[in-house]
Structure 1
Amino acid sequence: MRPSALWALLLLPAGVLAQGCPADCQCNQPRTVFCISRRSHTVPHGLPPDTASLYIFENGIRALSEDSFVEVPALQLLDLSQNQLSSLPRNVFQSLPSLCNLDLSSNQLHEISNETFHGLHLLERLYLDHNRIQHIHPAAFSSLENLLELKLQDNQLHVVPPLSLPTLLLLDISRNRVTALEPGTFHAPNLESLKMAGLGLGRLDEELLHSLQNLHELDISGNLLARVPRVLRQLRGLTKLSLAGNGQISQLQPEDFQELHSLQELDISKLSLHSLPRDFFGSFSRLKVITAAENPFNCVCQLSWLVHWLSTSKVSLRRSEETRCHFPPKNAGRLLQHLEYADFGCPTTTTLKATSPKLATSAPSSRHVPPTPSAAGSTPGEGSSTATPSTVLEGDPSPETRLCPPHTCLNGGACQLDTSNHLECVCPPGFSGLYCETKVWATTPPAATQAPTHPTRVAIKHVGGTSLKVDLQNYVQSKTQLKGIRLTYRNLSGPDKRPVTLSLPASLAEYTVRALKPNSSYHICIGPLGDRGQEEDLCVEAHTLQLTQQQQHAPVTQGRDPNLALVVVPAMAAVLLLVAAVAAVSYYARRRRQGKTPATPVVGSGPLELEGVKACLENGDLAGHGQRLPEKTVMPHGLEYEVPLMQPQYTSAATPRALRPSYF
């Protein structure tokens, strides 16, 4: 053999020299084959028989056969995500008895039969999310006795089959078409993370979750719950809870959360909360993160404790730029975290020096006194019992010592004690509400006038290419005792036609919906809040204009009203731009590498950042890097459960890859 030919053989990677490698694939890593973005319709052939990890995502594969994987019997990880598979043959994975990670996400699957996963007794992770699955056979997962993670989110399921999976730790069924879950659906006593976001659930049966005593994470956001589920009182091991997006929940009661002593993260954003009970977070001694954005908070005296608690505790407030006041007018639109005690309109307390007995001026009890909404719209002395603090014996509990802060009641309302010695506002005719702040439209028209006619259409005005202004004035004037307005819109032109529902106060004359798609058709409806299904909504179809260079998308939803400012300012544009830039650089770098001589790929970089790459838990070893799973932890009340498999997600580039979580 000529010396030049010998040197050429020595320079080839070891995997290519020993076994060869399919075209457009890389086999440089030991027992690992990468066939990424091949744009082929079939599984590559000629794979090394000892291959343990096979990545063939984004290949355009349209079909599999029963012999697609017979030449790789030692396979442990198979990533088939982001292909075009519409069905799976019977026993297609029968030849892979050692497989423990299978990713079929982002395909076009319609059905899962009872024979699809036969033979996969060691399978630990099964990802079927982002498909078109409408039906799953009740026995489809019966042979997967070692399954740890099952992802079914973003499909078209109407029914979730009974899941009897004793080892399961994570289950995600979010954003399907399941509107009800039968008791007994989950037979998974070791389940740690359950995600049921965006299903349209109107209630949560206690029997559905009462057996999941090992549950650490529960996501029931984006549903139609009208109150906090009582079953939370039984889930004492929860560390992460999301109730976000259940817009019908207007109150939180401390007793619904009193058993959640281990809670670390709580998301109560996008509800209809006007206030929170005093010291609501007192039961959460381990709380680290709270999200309360997009709530119509009344920033009055009753809520002043929250700002003080946020400033003194070590709890982080997420989405603080979207946590704003909606009432009273002087605080509307202001960041809740930036308010000071004086901004809440609380009365000042002055102590008087005196001889025995010691005298002090009494301040109204925050437990009984309605908070001061604002002095706006009222004159001195209007709606208040007195403007001068009274001098009383310190410690005197008599109800007469409780005072109305100045301007507590608006629009001429009178402040007085009710039968329970609590302060209340007696409103004049034409006004209602806790502080007489809401104008009540006449239930019967004057004799000389005719009853208001119901509007027959919704008036829409264009505001640039990505915003539509909805006229609410005619609709409000046609209603009597309107609690609020429900505004719903959905995009008829794009692939995502799920409706977005907003809860608006009845005092708005118009509402501008922003951050819409340009040159698109939208279906917009308005109806009474809290009266879903009892009265037909008014709907209209509107078309957004073509976006010009001067117009920009503004992810802000804002209502214009002289008495109320609704400001939501999420700062997402910069983040999306950064993610797009990083993705583009990674993609072109990968394509450039594929066009050159195969080089040794680095595990955890480039395409390996996709969710399709998973690590196998073998004998308690986390991600194959020698990290042992945590031992069992004994919690108060005698509860014993495994420490969550979820690990903190590290974003620093210097963080070792071994510390990445087992699932995302």
Structure 2
Amino acid sequence: MEHLRVFLLLAILAVACHSLKACPANCHCHGGELQHVICYSSGLTKIPKVSEQTRLVNLQKNSFPVLAPNSFKEMKGLVSLHMQYCGIREVATGAFRGLKRLVYLYLSHNDISVIGAGAFEELPELTYLYMEHNKIIDIPKGLLSPLANLFIFQLSNNKVRELKPGTFTGAKDLRWLYLSDNELTTLQPGSLDEVENLAIFHIDGNQLSTYPLAAVSKLRVVEDYKISRNPIKVIPDFAFQSFGRYMETLSMDHMGIEKFSEKAFVGVTALKSLNIEGNKLSQLPANAPISSLQNLTLANNPWHCSCQLAAVRRWIDGSRSRPDATCASPAQYRGQQLRDAGAFRGCKQPVKKSKKVEQH
């Protein structure tokens, strides 16, 4: 009996040793067939070998300056790959070749400046691509072509200077696009044609000096639109018309906007939140959809307190949030809160159209 116990113990130890050997050095693995391989901050300089059954590999905080072609070809079952903070400078053509089941790819917080045009070939299932906080200047034409299932593309905090036609060719299902805090000066007409179904579009913190009307007029269903911190002085007529019946959140703070054209808000019918803080606005156009808003941020603008802003005053009076907004003119109201100023006494209430009820 004792011999049998020793034999069983040795057998268990042998299996355990085999399992340990299968996990890369300095990493830890868990899940059946070592499905999750965690090599967080393990001092690696070469991509480790893992089994085809592996579903998740976490390589964060190691050192891989260049992702060469076929770097992951043995990882055929991989679904999620984490490579944040790995000092990556270059992603070569075919770097991820063979990862036909990959859904999540995290390349954030690296030094990527060079991307081969075919870097993402053979990634038919890739849905979530995170590349924020890198040094990417240009998105090569056709880069996203293999990514027919791409849903989220996070490219904030890079150095992208312009969007050109063909940038998003193939990514027809892209819904969330983040381009905040780049160096964009131009969105060329046609540059967003292939991604007309964007629901979230953030281009705040760039260097756009004129509103990109031609480029965004092909967007159809944007719900969350953020263009804050771009030096645009005038918002033109029909700025949001193509997606106005879907847009719920509009962020245009800290831009130096001096004027919304009279027809700027044509077609905007679903807006719930508007942030226009930190501009040079004295008035808003008559068709600004103030009454339907749930949130309105107005501070740090030189408002001219007159009946033209009566709709804003009515909104403030009916709001619990008591937003900050100060009159800059006329002189007798300068420095007063818009919610307290007497400038709106005598302003006419809008006439509501009532349906006539016929009596029989």
TM exceeding 0.5 = yes
Distance 1:159 1:305 in 2: 38
Instruction: After superposition, give the CA deviation of every residue in 1:175-223 in whole Å (9 maximum; x if it has no partner).
Output: 2222112111112122212221122112234331222112222211111
Instruction: After superposition, give the CA deviation of every residue in 1:223-253 in whole Å (9 maximum; x if it has no partner).
Output: 1222123331232221221111220x22345
The letter for the 2-side match of 1:345 is: G
Distance 2:30 2:227 in 1: 44
Distance 2:40 2:109 in 1: 15
| Structure 1 residue 155, shift from structure 2 partner | 1.5
Distance 2:109 2:271 in 1: 33
Unaligned stretches of 5+ residues in structure 2: 350-360
Cα separation, partners in 2 of 1:346 and 1:5, compared to 1, 3 Å: farther
1:264 to 262, 265, 272: 272
| Structure 1 residue 59, shift from structure 2 partner | 2.2
1:220 — aligned with what?
227
Cα separation, partners in 2 of 1:331 and 1:92, compared to 1, 3 Å: same
Cα separation, partners in 2 of 1:60 and 1:312, compared to 1, 3 Å: same
| Structure 1 residue 67, shift from structure 2 partner | 4.6
Report if the CA contact (8 A) 1:185-1:208 is conserved: yes
1:195 — aligned with what?
202
Cα separation, partners in 2 of 1:2 and 1:66, compared to 1, 3 Å: farther
Distance 2:48 2:281 in 1: 56
Distance 1:200 1:10 in 2: 63
Cα separation, partners in 2 of 1:69 and 1:276, compared to 1, 3 Å: same
1:23 — aligned with what?
25
1:289 — aligned with what?
295
Q: How does 1:615-654 map to 2 (within 5 A)?
A: none
TM-score by length of 2: 0.80
Report if the CA contact (8 A) 1:170-1:192 is conserved: yes
Cα separation, partners in 2 of 1:176 and 1:6, compared to 1, 3 Å: same
| Structure 1 residue 116, shift from structure 2 partner | 0.9
Q: How does 1:252-651 map to 2 (within 5 A)?
A: 252=260, 255-276=263-284, 280-282=288-290, 285=292, 287-298=293-304, 303=309, 306-313=312-319, 320=323, 323-325=324-326, 327=328, 339-340=339-340, 344-346=341-343, 363=346, 365=347
Distance 1:271 1:258 in 2: 21
2:250 — aligned with what?
241
Cα separation, partners in 2 of 1:281 and 1:137, compared to 1, 3 Å: closer
Distance 2:126 2:286 in 1: 49
Cα separation, partners in 2 of 1:124 and 1:92, compared to 1, 3 Å: same
2:354 — aligned with what?
none
Distance 1:37 1:78 in 2: 15
Cα separation, partners in 2 of 1:59 and 1:291, compared to 1, 3 Å: farther
Cα separation, partners in 2 of 1:19 and 1:38, compared to 1, 3 Å: closer
Report if the CA contact (8 A) 1:239-1:262 is conserved: yes
The letter for the 2-side match of 1:151 is: Q
1:557 — aligned with what?
none
1:130 to 113, 129, 133: 133
TM-score by length of 1: 0.46
1:101 to 99, 104, 117: 104
When the two chains are superposed, the root-mean-square deviation of aligned CA atoms in Å is 3.5
Higher Rg: 1
The letter for the 2-side match of 1:25 is: C
Report if the CA contact (8 A) 2:124-2:146 is conserved: yes
Shifted more, 290-299 versus 113-122: the winner is 290-299
2:55 — aligned with what?
52
Q: How many residues align?
A: 338
- Per the alignment, in what secondary structure is the counterpart of residue 162 of structure 2? coil
Cα separation, partners in 2 of 1:39 and 1:278, compared to 1, 3 Å: same
Report if the CA contact (8 A) 1:279-1:305 is conserved: no
2:258 — aligned with what?
250
| Structure 1 residue 300, shift from structure 2 partner | 6.6
- Per the alignment, in what secondary structure is the counterpart of residue 175 of structure 1? coil
Report if the CA contact (8 A) 1:111-1:136 is conserved: no
1:178 paired with 2:184, answer yes
- Per the alignment, in what secondary structure is the counterpart of residue 256 of structure 1? coil
Report if the CA contact (8 A) 2:228-2:251 is conserved: yes
1:114 to 112, 117, 121: 117
- Per the alignment, in what secondary structure is the counterpart of residue 142 of structure 1? coil
